[in-house]
Structure formats: structure tokens, C-alpha cells
Amino acid sequence: MKFLGGLILFLIIFFAAGIGMHYALYKEPGAFLWSLQENPDGSKQVRSTAGKLAEEAADGAAEPETAAEKQGDTISLYNSKDLGQWEKTAFGGEGDVFVNEDGNLEFGFGAIMTGVHWGGEVPATSNYEINLEAMKLDGNDFFCALTFPVKESHATFVIGGWGGGVVGISCVDDLNASENETMQIDGFEDNKWYKIRVKVTDDRLDCWIDDDHMVDLPLKDRKISLLPGDIELSVPIGLASFITRSQYRNIQWTNLPSPQQTDSE
């Protein structure tokens, strides 16, 4: 009897310590790592509080990724396996369009232009960026003509046009890239990747090649349009080359906050 009484006293002290420890750690009734919790249907269940906290921590860690996916800030437009939602543009006399052994989108020589255009829904018409890498393999004219939306219209960032050196936007106030103030002259090597970046906001159009800011154009009171002709087949987003073999990779679209949202923040 003396042993049984001591055992009972030990168990009482042991569970009292467990209840005190549980409340000190989790601020809710329970013993050690276990508590009586209510299920959604109203029934009671003894459950590990530590397990519950671990699940909550895991759920919290997953929230930023889920939010980013919902916002869809950056969208890959090319999967390096097939054309996906890109469609070969029927310019007439165009060269081959294919995914090569390195997973890059490649254009062969065409009689005039070769290219692709986006067959899916355009993510936005303003407040976005397009980033890609382009490389000239062989030829003497533009290896990248990137067509993109600018609010209600479209424009083309021409890289290496008019014999291989002209860079600029077609068209600004009905003037093509060789005639308006965005025109610059640059040289481009064969078999070298160039990083292309186009940023469109409600009030500006900016373009970069690598780290060089090539186009810095306020849009207020300016007419933005496409050069009349075959390039109009490149809408809403398009890539084209002119009698030039070229490759493209890492084509990405990033949605941006509007200037009004940025100002309010």
C-alpha cells in the first residue's frame, strides 16, 4: 500500500508538471505536447500541439510562393522544348523555325523575314517588361525584331537593321527606326548572346541591350505604331529576323505595378 500511494503521488506530480509545462509553452490547456482540440465538426480530439505548430509553420512558409504564383509577376514564354504557344509567322519565303539540340529557338535563313508570333492571350498591354537573349549566327541584317504591345497599339524594337547596325523603335510618329530619335548605330558579333530588355509603362518606353540603355522615350503626345507591311503579322508579341540566322532563349514576361500604384505606395 505504501508503494501504491507513492506511485499515485508521483503520477499526480508528473501530470501536474506536464500540464504546467504545456501551458507555459503553448498558452492553452494540455499536458506535455498534447492537448484536447476541437475539430471543425465540433468533436474533440487529443492531438500533438507540436505537430499542429509544425503544420502551421509549414503553411506559413508556403504562403509567399502561393502568393507569387497567384500574382503571376513573371511568366516564362518559352519552355526550351517546343514552340508552345508560339506560332510560325507566314511572312512568305520564311526560313525554318525549330528548337535546336541546345533547347534554343532557332530561325534559319529566309528569302525575307523569318519569325514567330504569340498565339496565346497577351498578359498585358502596359506596365510590363519582356526579357530575352538573342544571338546572330549568320547574316547582315536584323537578327532580332521584337514586336510588343504599347497600350492600344504595338511597336517593334529593331536590333541590327538596315544593313546590320541600326537599333531603334518602329514606328514613332510614323517614322521608322532609321528615321526617328530612337535610332542608334551599334555593331553586333556573330555567335554572341545579347540580353534584350523592353519596358513599357503608361508614360514611357525603355529598351536595353545588355547594360546599354538604347531607347528612352516618353510616350506623352507620341504616336506609336508598326511599320506597315509584313511585320504587322507579328502581333501581339513577335520575334523576327531578316535574311539572318538567329537563336533565342530565356524569353520572359514580367508584370509591373502601374505608376499610380507605385506613387500611392
Output the pLDDT for position 7. 54
| Amino acid type, 217 | L
From the CA atom positions of the chain, what is the Rg in Å? 30
What domains are defined for the chain? Answer: 2-71 (no CATH), 74-264 (2.60.120.560)
Sign of CA dihedral 65, 69, 75, 80: positive
**CB 215, CB 168: distance < 8 Å:** yes
Output the pLDDT for position 158. 98
Q: Who wins on pLDDT, 237 or 10?
A: 237
pLDDT confidence bin for 258, thresholds 50/70/90: confident
Q: Give the tens place of pLDDT for each residue, 32-74.
A: 555 555 554 455 555 554 444 444 444 444 333 333 233 348 9
Output the pLDDT for position 163. 93
Q: Give the tens place of pLDDT for each residue, 205-256.
A: 999 999 999 999 999 999 999 999 999 999 999 999 999 999 999 999 999 9
pLDDT confidence bin for 259, thresholds 50/70/90: confident
Measured CA to CA, the distance from residue 161 to residue 145 in angstroms comes to 9
Decide: residue 158, CB within 10 A, 0-12 exposed, 13-18 middle, 19+ buried: buried
Measured CA to CA, the distance from residue 162 to residue 177 in angstroms comes to 9
- Whether 30 has a pLDDT exceeding 90, the answer reads no
Least confident range from 27-31, 61-65, 144-148, 219-223: namely: 61-65
Q: Who wins on pLDDT, 159 or 29?
A: 159
- Whether 195 has a pLDDT exceeding 70, the answer reads yes
In this prediction the pTM is: 0.72
